[in-house]
Amino acid sequence: MPVEALMDDDLDELAWLNLDDVSQTLDVSEIEHLYQTLELEEARIEVEISDCVEHRNSVDTRLAQLSALHKSVEATSLLVKPMQRVIDATAGNAGAISGHVRELDQERVKLEHALNTVKETVELKSRLSELLTAMETRDVDRASLLVHEYKATSSDTLDSPFIAFASDSSPPRDIIAAATKELVERVTFMFNTAVESSNTREIGRCFRLFPQLGETQRGLDLYSEFLCAAITDKTRLAQVHTTYALRITRLFEAIASVVDNNFALVEQYYGRGYVLRIIQRLQMEGARRACLVLDFFEEERQVKRRLAQIQQVDVAKPRPLVKAKAEKDDGISDGDFKDIASILAEVVLIG
């Protein structure tokens, strides 16, 4: 029987074969079966031995390579162990260095903050000195600019222990507060004086200073009053020998012209949106002036009296010609009708 014919069952039988059981077997057929099985196993082993003998050189070569590789691994291991110790020591040093670097970085941040505080303190001291000089020489523009620059100083600098070096007398906050109050009063006085003398250049100069002093609303209110007065003067000149409807038209044209001419100025020095406050004041002034024009119109044209006359006329009731002539002196004349027609025409134009 060829070796390939050996089945799995025969192999299992060989695996569990016990020599003591074989020696006690008396059945001839069973003995023959065991004998055949042993022969097959012997043939299989011989085949495997033959294969091993044939591939002995290859196996020896691989064993030699494995042995050489083992020696190389051992040599490498001997080299790696010192390197591992160096790496471990380097890692420990790196951790310590990293901690020191973090500490140095924190110290650097603190040092930069302290240097920046000292720098701002020195600059603040210089600004305070210049401010006091500008106040003494009444240089309002320079003093206002220095007050504006003071607002950029950080609160850390103002609260730092170095702030005492910025001023020998009073705290910087008190100096700036007093200077700001005095400058606001000066600029307000200069603005009002410029308005009285119609000095538009000085008016514009003072108007630009209020935002630097933190008095934006005051500047807008004063400038609004100036513009309202300018509109009043302009419309007063335009009211000579004109109808009331034309007076109102000229009034709102003057308001639109003022807004258009001053829009860019307000946006430049006060910021976007602040011109709305001036527009609201001009609208209120326009409404007030328009009401005055209508009051003058009512008084000059005697509108109430004309309305009373119209109500007294009973146009639906016919009168005898003689009686109508008799009542002509007490009623409405042709001139009255012309006046009423003129009033109605102007009311239509105003509306």
Give the gyration radius of the chain's Cα atoms: 57
Output the pLDDT for position 258.
86
- CA 235/CA 350 separation, integer angstroms: 16
Q: Which pLDDT value is given to residue 257?
A: 86
Instruction: Determine the pLDDT at residue 326.
Output: 44
CA distance 160 to 22: 106
Q: Give the pair of three-digit tokens for residue 320.
A: 């005898």
Which residue blocks in the chain are alpha helix, DSSP H?
A: 8-15, 19-23, 28-54, 56-136, 140-150, 155-158, 172-196, 200-209, 216-238, 244-270, 275-300, 303-312, 321-326, 334-350
Residue closest to 254 by CA, chosen among 272, 273, 236, 274: 236
pLDDT value of residue 164: 65
Residue 26: per-residue pLDDT: 67
Per-residue confidence (pLDDT) for residue 65, from 0 to 100 = 82
The whole-angstrom separation of Cα 166 and Cα 132 is 13
Q: What are the tokens at 104?
A: 């140095």
Q: How confident is the model at residue 218, as a pLDDT?
A: 93
Q: 337 is written with which tokens?
A: 């009708």
Which pLDDT does position 222 carry in this prediction?
A: 93
Q: Is residue 90 helix, strand or coil? A: helix
Mean pLDDT by 10 residues, the chain (351 residues): 47 56 70 80 84 75 81 80 83 84 88 81 80 87 87 70 66 83 93 91 92 91 89 66 71 85 89 89 84 69 61 53 47 56 58 56
- Give which of 194, 189, 191 is closest to 220, Cα–Cα: 191
Please count the other Cβ atoms lying within 10 Å of the Cβ belonging to residue 225.
Answer: 15
Residue 270 exposed, middle or buried by CB count within 10 Å (0-12, 13-18, 19+) = buried
Contacts of 157 (CB under 8 A, 6+ apart): 117, 120, 121, 124, 163
What confidence score (pLDDT) does residue 2 get?
47
AA identity, residue 45: I
pLDDT at 220: 93
